[in-house]
Amino acid sequence: MKKVSVECRNIRLSYGKTEVLKDVNINIEPGEFFALLGPSGSGKSTLLRLIAGFNRHNAGQLLVDGKDISTTPPWDRNIGMVFQNYALWPHMTVWDNVAFGLVERKLPRAEIRAKVEAALDLVGLSQYAKRRPNQLSGGQQQRVALARTIVIEPQVLLLDEPLSNLDKKLRVQMRQDLLSLQRRLGITTIFVTHDQEEAMTTADRMAVLDHGVVQQIGAPSTLFDYPVNRFVANFVGTMN
Ligand code: ADP
Ligand code: MG
C-alpha cells in the first residue's frame, strides 16, 4: 500500500460565530503515527472529522498525498475513522459489522470473506466472528471497530480517543497493540487523545492543540524537553 502524507494548511473552521480551528498548520509524514493531543473542547474531534470529510473548513487547504481533497466527499477520500464510541451496529454480528463497508462497495463474496478473515485475524478476534457487540468486552468492541475500519484498506487511519472507554490496564496493553498494528500496516495514522502519557509513549511526532490553536509540533521528547510555552510545559509535563 502506498504511504501518503496529510497536510493541513491554514485551516479555519467555525460553528456559527465561534471559531473552533484557528489557522491550523500540520504536516504529517507518510506512514507516521501522529498524535493530536489537547484538553477536552480544544478542537481535536473537529479536526479529525474535517480530515474525514464530515466537517467542512471555512478556509485553508487539506492535502492528502499532495492533492487538495477539500471538496472530495467522505466516501471518496480513502480515509478510515474509528469513532470514540465505536459506533458498531448492535443487531449485527462481529463478522457483519466488519464486512459492512465491503458489502456496500459490492465486492465479490469470496473477496469479502478473505478480507474480513484477514482483518479479524489482525486484531485477534477470529474466534468472535459470530458474536454481537454486546457479547464482547470493551476492548474487544474497540478491536471490532478497528477491524471494520482497516478492512477497507484506507490510506489514512483516524482514531478519535480509541482507548478512552477502557480501563487503565487495558489501555496500556492496547496502545502497544495499536502501535504494532500500525507499524505492520505502515498506514499514516492520526491518533487523537487527551492523555499525555498515551501520546508521549506512542507517537512519532505530536501536535498540542489548545482552543483551536496548534501550540507546538514535534517529537514527544522535544515537547517534553523544550516546550515553547507554559501551556505545553504544563500539559505535556503532567503525566497522569
Ligand atoms: P475535542 O474533541 O478536543 O474535545 P471538539 O472538536 O469536540 O473538541 O470541540 C471543539 C469545540 O467546538 C468545543 O467548544 C465544542 O463545544 C464545539 N463544537 C463541537 N461540535 C460542535 C457542533 N456540531 N456545533 C457547535 N459547536 C460544536
Ligand atoms: Mg473529541
Residue range 5-32: mean pLDDT, rounded: 97
More confident residue, 96 or 75: 96
Percentage with pLDDT > 70 across the chain: 99
What confidence tier does 240 reach under pLDDT thresholds 50, 70, 90? Answer: very low
DSSP letter assigned to residue 120: H
Q: Is the ipTM of this complex over 0.90?
A: yes
Average model confidence (pLDDT) for the chain?
Answer: 94
Task: Decide if 33 contacts 158 (C-beta within 8 A).
Answer: no
Starting from the CA of residue 41, give the closest ligand.
1
43 lines ligand 1 (CB under 6 A): yes
Q: From the CA of 42, give the closest atom in ligand 1.
A: 3
For 63, 144, 146, 151, the CA distances from 159, given in Å and listed in that order, are 18, 13, 9, 15
Q: From the CA of 49, give the closest atom in ligand 1.
A: 6
Atom 19 (ligand 1): residue with closest C-alpha?
46
Starting from the CA of residue 160, give the closest ligand.
2
Question: Which pLDDT does position 238 carry in this prediction?
Answer: 59
What confidence tier does 87 reach under pLDDT thresholds 50, 70, 90? Answer: confident
Q: From the CA of 194, give the closest atom in ligand 1.
A: 3
Task: Provide the whole-model pTM.
Answer: 0.94
Residues paired with residue 230 on neighbouring β-strands, in sequence order: none
How many whole angstroms separate alpha carbon 133 and alpha carbon 94? 7
* Alpha-carbon 53 to chain mean position: 13
Packing angle of the helix pair 138-150, 94-104 (nearest 10 deg): 20
Atom 18 (ligand 1): residue with closest C-alpha?
15
44 lines ligand 1 (CB under 6 A): yes
The alpha-carbon radius of gyration of the chain (Å, integer) is 18
74 lines ligand 1 (CB under 6 A): no
Task: Decide if 116 contacts 151 (C-beta within 8 A).
Answer: yes
- The pLDDT tens digits for 39-59 are 999 999 999 999 999 999 999
3-state secondary structure of 185: helix
DSSP letter assigned to residue 41: T
Looking at the predicted structure, is the pLDDT value of residue 170 above 50? Answer: yes
Q: From the CA of 160, give the closest atom in ligand 1.
A: 2
Task: Decide if 223 contacts 235 (C-beta within 8 A).
Answer: no
97 lines ligand 1 (CB under 6 A): no
Looking at the predicted structure, is the pLDDT value of residue 175 above 70? Answer: yes
- Would you state the cell numbers that stand for residue 3, as one nine-digit string? 504511504
Question: Which pLDDT does position 94 carry in this prediction?
Answer: 97
How many whole angstroms separate alpha carbon 77 and alpha carbon 100? 18
